[in-house]
Chains A and B, each alone.
Chain A
């Protein structure tokens, strides 16, 4: 081990990279070192990793079945048996918060998978094609951006009907324009560079140039933006759940838990406290992580 590490480190910090792979890995390594210097960002990463682990190992981490009701044990304050107390039908709040991490990750993952590609595609096409295509596509994003996020998401959910999947669709519909704008701006910068001209002269099609050269250049800023918007996505999803329009009971979604805890606010402080703390910590973690990633991937912004 100790014999391997110095050579690996030497390879990663060598003055002259011998191959493209080495150069890429060296860049990543330097970025990682820079990232480690930001304690808040590292804390954010730690929480996100923790969230992943909790969601993955929920059955082992939870102390009870999150759906099991025990009316004899309803609305009990936190104790050794029920760390976060119990809810109005005697379910264990701790186990529900633990399982809620799965719902949150599900939302975050789905929104990212929908929004990233759509935003990238529309943005790069608009930026690369320019002219009328650009004008039309950007007008459309302008119109979406003219609405504040939550109100537009509410309108979509109203039309689609309540439910977790519809909430995800509504959130995705309100989030893609930001990514399209970002990808367009990046594309405009790259578009006129020499290496794009070179590959065009070599006969590369527009699709190939977009896929092989333009989109990869947009990825870092899209990742930063994605991480930062995940905080907002989590808040919006929780807000929809709170209004009864997102995940439906008995799903242990944190916003829906807050909504049912709302009726038992006075006198049962543990009901709203823990799901709310979970939402805030996870959202804060994504914000801290995104902030740190931006400093690493996009040093211009500082």
Chain B
């Protein structure tokens, strides 16, 4: 009894220690992310003071603003100020919109989440069955087709695919809506609740707007899903091959189970691995969204970033970069945690 309790408390100490180590790593990485964006902000040739007050301002104003921005302080002190600003959510004002960057991001982010989530669903629905089929019929036509499609999915420029889709499905066939989230006539009709227009139109029971939004989102989501499909089909294939080579599969076959039953048996065992890579894939979608949104005029995070870039608005660029880095970090941690919680072997 006592030994059990002792081992439990030792285990708890072990957990606490590993948690502390994890927290330390996360903290260092967060400061590192901030340091990198701070560094990028410093190498920038544009003078932040002139960007703020214009070139006509006199020497005195310049000096005042220079000091106000803390530029007269040594770099490490400036970095500490920067960290303080981040911690308090002060990311400056976007020149193009005149609003604080953080407010802008809160406004545009739901559009990206909507797009990326739909793309993720698409990627899972196409990629996972393809990968399973490729593993089951290894070396056959399905396998080669999957391998080729996977590589093609990695090789095609999204923005080009988007342009071509607009030419074919919008201009020629008229099957999909054009750029933007809804047609002009449907803009700002449903009340803004979640910021995700598909959800908002359902909440409002406005099926006209819902259909219109669906017609607009389908193509960018599908195109965004190509990389995810490629990625998931490849990983599913290798996970499945690993399982299909195990002895329990042979046992199942000897028992006389059908190939379908054997496959389902193996598939159940790759669930946890799949879930963790799907979580990671979500981060990749944010990266892909930058160009896809630009092509489809999708008013999300990616378009906000590129318009900030083209305007030379460093507050926008750095905040977006930092945010994406933090989201990546969180997704990585979530993926790790999921694996630990769900896979009994890691307990």
Q: Say yes or no: A258 contacts B163, CB within 8 Å.
A: yes
Q: Say yes or no: A151 contacts B321, CB within 8 Å.
A: yes
A280 and B29 in contact, given A146-B328, A243-B310, A287-B155 (Cβ under 8 angstroms): no
CA A161 – CA B310 in complex, angstroms?
10
> For residue B116, which residues in chain A have a CB less than 8 angstroms away from its CB?
none
> For residue B152, which residues in chain A have a CB less than 8 angstroms away from its CB?
280, 284
1/0 per position for A227-266, CB-CB distance to B under 8 A?
0000110010011001111000000000100100110011
Shortest beta-carbon distance from B50 to chain A in Å: 15
Q: Say yes or no: B155 contacts A284, CB within 8 Å.
A: yes
A272 and B44 in contact, given A147-B325, A151-B321, A265-B171 (Cβ under 8 angstroms): no
Shortest beta-carbon distance from A281 to chain B in Å: 8
Helix, strand, loop or mixed for chain B's interface?
helix
Interface bracket on B:
35 or more
Q: Say yes or no: B160 contacts A243, CB within 8 Å.
A: no
Say yes or no for A269: interface residue by CB 8 A criterion.
yes
Interface bracket on A:
35 or more
Interface centre among B283, B321, B329, by most chain A C-beta atoms within 10 angstroms, is B321
Residue of B nearest to A259 (CB): B159
1/0 per position for B137-168, CB-CB distance to A under 8 A?
00000000001100110111101110110110
Contacts of B287-305 to chain A: CB distance below 8 A: 287-288, 290-291, 294-295, 305
11 additional contacts, CB 8 Å, given A239-B291, A280-B157?
A: A143-B29, A143-B33, A146-B332, A147-B321, A148-B283, A155-B37, A155-B318, A159-B44, A239-B157, A242-B159, A291-B151
CB within 8 Å of B: which residues of A? 40, 139-140, 142-144, 146-152, 154-161, 231-232, 235, 238-239, 242-245, 255, 258, 261-262, 265-267, 269, 272-273, 275-276, 279-280, 283-284, 286-288, 291
CB within 8 Å of A: which residues of B? 28-29, 32-33, 35-37, 40-41, 43-45, 147-148, 151-152, 154-157, 159-161, 163-164, 166-167, 171, 283-284, 286-288, 290-291, 294-295, 305-306, 309-310, 312, 314, 317-318, 320-321, 324-325, 328-329, 332
What are 23 A-to-B residue pairs whose CB atoms are below 8 Å? Answer: A139-B28, A139-B29, A142-B29, A143-B32, A144-B36, A147-B324, A150-B287, A150-B290, A150-B291, A151-B287, A151-B321, A154-B309, A157-B309, A161-B45, A235-B155, A262-B295, A265-B171, A276-B157, A279-B160, A280-B156, A280-B160, A287-B155, A291-B151
